[in-house]
A and B are shown apart, each in its own frame.
Chain A
């Protein structure tokens, strides 16, 4: 597979990258891990006259704690995240998610920023980013701004990043509070590995064991990842028995613009969203109660 000809730049400073991205005709593209962009170019489905490789900009890579949150640089790879004790302790849901992405090669090259900026409907991270209520930081010629997860994904393969803007970091509120559990469950596409449906669930219990708060992100099923508001409100204040979880999970596909492909129809995706939501909630509840994997 032979991509069309392109120019390549690998700046070491963010300012240089932003400069290179200005004033072009939209065929100048950011290159991060290349796991989505390069295959598209080889198939000649994406055309980029110039690539700006942001992989050598030191400030974009790394993981740090910031009070009640963990901040992860955009070019931090999946591998870095899996290797991070901080993430494992404070945002175990992210580890649970990243573990299930692609294969070892993809995890070694792919980046958190690339995944979010690409906004593939079958990407795993969007479900988790939505469930934890993460915040993205983006830099452009006009300065930096933060974008809430809910406002970030705007449709199939589209985000609220502007032309020429670079996603620089992601801030994830920590989940290591008492009586909190989370889980990410996924139905993998058997060929691509992407999420046919992925569900990220976070459950926080009140002292009496009822549901204080539940947050659920669903990816894969629809054209863009969404929070499952119907599920969340159905759990609010409830005692969390199997019947309640199943009942709440039946709202999982509400509001989703369900996708259909030769592997899984819209109907099946909707069905899987419900089953996986029920199972993810059950796992999160078990962890919140201090069960296995708490």
Chain B
């Protein structure tokens, strides 16, 4: 038999055939006998008092089974809980009801729910609910919301301040006092709409005999959904089953449990029949969480030789109208700890203000806090390079944490596991031929051609994380993972994970891990996820933790299985346990390779248990509960090369090179795919995406016709290069790659465009860098300087 290693090979994704041929089982594919359909009436106003709510016309409509309002659920459904309560932060948690009681606080806030025998009847009936609203003043932008005299959202949050959170290290004040240069920039991280391909939804089924609720739910973390559902509905946790089999993307938006999920469960129990609720795309735009939305004031202190000495950040995070489940953790711990990036910045201070506004709640979106941090520091490094007239490459190198310094304890107190930042930068520079590009740039500028080169040398924190750290950060849960590996009598294996991959490909990579450890063919391994009845516990898929934590649990469980199998083989082969050698699924006796048992032989014997050694229990199944000892820190260097059409403001990405080091790689093709998707979303933020509210609080980019989710023709070829610096943190030596693309790419693109436009005196642009914004920035710069660099064609 040829020696083929599963670990490290580009096995094709086993989940894809069902996903791309329409045979997956998404929540909307679930059809239960007698199922009814729910639709939610959502507030058309961003802030209003409900002065009259009359559901009688809708209730009388043939086919309508029930209409619920905030009053109907009051006392029966508890408010949606917030599950991240950062310590020392004075966080206010105003009640977030599944349906508004008397005041609506964002366009899309739930007002009533209709359950009917068909989705069409339910949607028609929404038009028959009579509501009178008394409109209240609206505020949608966070710095306006904290200003004196701004409309107030919640009584218990004066000044609309949800929290003030601080983090710091060193002595930032003296760093700035002694600084030779200081650069300052106001950075806006615009609001993004996650737009998973599958909108959210729930099918709830109530079993009155057992008193049990089954919820099919589009969730990244079904066990958390079970936990939260029990808190909101009052149904005991052990009487709730959550199934999230195929989930069509999440990007963080499917971490929280939402009002709609709880209303569906409520209706199913009240009506004693299955109820389905699936968002329309329009509904998804306003009712599913948004991401980012920061305003930051940033200052960087340095010496003239380029040594960075201090960083000061003040950030206002728009949290929307209510606190979504993990919302407070995103702009605090997941952001503030990473603002110093891959640099030895000894002194820093971060002040974050969480702010309530009349907008859709904001929560984790791919990268969650870390893109905001990476963008900030990478942007500031470029601004400092401009100020010092240094090449941005040289400036970065001067401040990199050196590769000998790992494990490196940053001023944030996080301990970076491993890294070699010069190496990834070298590879990226070589791939684009940096020197040649700079020469071309200089030549081009004389002829009115604007080439820009943008660097991002990022590091991020993922593989979330030690449960003790979760507790210390105020996360109201753990971050460990369980795994069970069970080998059946026929030699087929089942692998149970508490994570819930939803497009990332772990049904393949987890099978690769187990196949490698046990010598089983990958076809004989099934990875089971997304069902609380089958899997004991789990904290889910987010924070690039699935493989680093869930995969580590699996490899350790698989090793236990192998150890047991090895002992059983010794018994059956009448050899001493220490004389058994294992290779490629065969247990043989040292020195006499013909005396052997295959893993399949052992599986059969273990399951029938006819001849077990003294004291060994029957079966071939092991579990492992894994709690990581530290986070992991993927890093890399991305370079974006753009051509800017100064006449139309259009940005053309000529090349995009991504050098990523996510530790050891199980499946290079899947890692590339994760980078591609992440970079596409990062480019989306840089060039295309942005949620815009008008003064009345209407989301005016509320459909696919006006909110640009980039498609394949708008994304350049992404050239991926991998390096593998093992992480010492976990048994797999890997770091996680789910979010690196979004964390690294946005600033690479902005840095490239700012670099292209440097001849105009332009050094910063806001996002998305649409043609009009670029064109205006150029026009304004021309007007200000009174000079016009060369332009082509005229």
**A residues whose Cβ falls under 8 Å from a Cβ of B:** 1-2, 4-5, 43, 187, 189-192, 242, 246, 261-265, 268, 271-272, 275, 278
Contact = CB atoms under 8 A, between A and B. Distances in A.
Contacts of A264: 771-772
A253 to B, nearest CB: 14
A275 B123 CA distance: 46
Q: Interface range on chain B: under 10, 10 to 19, 20 to 34, or 35 or more? A: 20 to 34
B705 A191 contact: yes
Contacts of A1: 280-282
B647 interface: yes
B772 A265 contact: yes
Contact of B120 (A2, A246, A268, A272): A2
Contact of A192 (B119, B706, B776): B706
Contacts of A265: 772
B526 interface: no
A27 B692 CA distance: 33
A266 to B, nearest CB: 11
Contacts of A261: 706
Interface of B: 119-120, 123-124, 280-282, 647-648, 688, 692, 700-701, 703-710, 714, 770-772, 775-776, 793-794
B698 to A, nearest CB: 11
Contact of A2 (B280, B709, B776): B280
Report the 5 A-B pairs with minimum CB-CB distance, sorted nearest first. A191-B708, A2-B123, A190-B708, A268-B772, A192-B705
Contact of A275 (B648, B688, B692, B776): B648
Nearest to B649: A268
13 contacts: A1-B281, A43-B282, A43-B703, A190-B708, A191-B705, A191-B706, A192-B706, A242-B793, A262-B701, A262-B706, A263-B772, A264-B771, A265-B772
A194 to B, nearest CB: 8
Contacts of B124: 2, 4-5
A190 B297 CA distance: 30
A271 B771 CA distance: 11
Contacts, number: 54
Contacts of B281: 1
Contact of B775 (A5, A246, A268): A268
Given A2-B123, A242-B794, A272 B648 contact: yes
A189 B710 CA distance: 11
Contacts of A2: 119-120, 123-124, 280
Contact of B688 (A190, A271, A272): A190
Contacts of A191: 688, 704-709
Nearest to A192: B705
Nearest to B650: A187
B692 A262 contact: yes
A190 B710 contact: yes
A183 to B, nearest CB: 16
A275 B648 CA distance: 7
A15 to B, nearest CB: 33
Contacts of B707: 191
A263 B704 contact: no
Contacts of B701: 262
Contact of A187 (B123, B648, B700, B709): B648
Contacts of B123: 2
Given A2-B120, A190-B714, A246-B794, A263 B770 contact: yes
Contacts of A43: 282, 703
Given A262-B700, A264-B771, A275-B647, 5 more contacts: A2-B119, A43-B282, A187-B648, A190-B688, A191-B705
A192 B706 CA distance: 6
A239 B68 CA distance: 74
A158 B281 CA distance: 28
A289 to B, nearest CB: 18
A268 B779 CA distance: 11
A170 B599 CA distance: 73
A173 to B, nearest CB: 31
Contacts of B771: 187, 264, 268
Contacts of B703: 43
A5 B120 contact: yes
A221 B620 CA distance: 70
A267 B182 CA distance: 37
A4 B127 CA distance: 10
Q: Max chain A CB contacts within 10 Å: which of B708, B770, B772?
A: B772
Contacts of A262: 692, 700-701, 706
Contacts of B770: 190, 263
A4 B120 CA distance: 8
A103 to B, nearest CB: 8
A265 B776 CA distance: 11
Contacts of B705: 191-192
A275 B709 CA distance: 26
A264 B706 CA distance: 11
Nearest to B687: A190
A176 to B, nearest CB: 29
Contacts of B714: 190
A81 to B, nearest CB: 21
A262 B700 CA distance: 8
Contacts of B119: 2
A245 to B, nearest CB: 10
Contacts of B688: 190-191
Contacts of A275: 647-648
A187 B775 CA distance: 14
Nearest to A276: B648
B755 to A, nearest CB: 22
A268 B714 CA distance: 21
A246 B770 CA distance: 24
A271 B708 contact: no
A8 to B, nearest CB: 15
Q: Max chain B CB contacts within 10 Å: which of A190, A264, A265?
A: A190
Nearest to A44: B127
Contacts of B775: 268, 271
Contacts of A242: 793-794
Contacts of B708: 190-191
Nearest to A3: B120
Contacts of B709: 191
A189 B706 CA distance: 8
Contacts of B700: 262
Q: Max chain A CB contacts within 10 Å: which of B647, B692, B700?
A: B647
A209 B175 CA distance: 70
Contacts of B793: 242, 278
A73 B770 CA distance: 38
Contacts of B647: 275
Contacts of A189: 706
Contacts of A271: 775
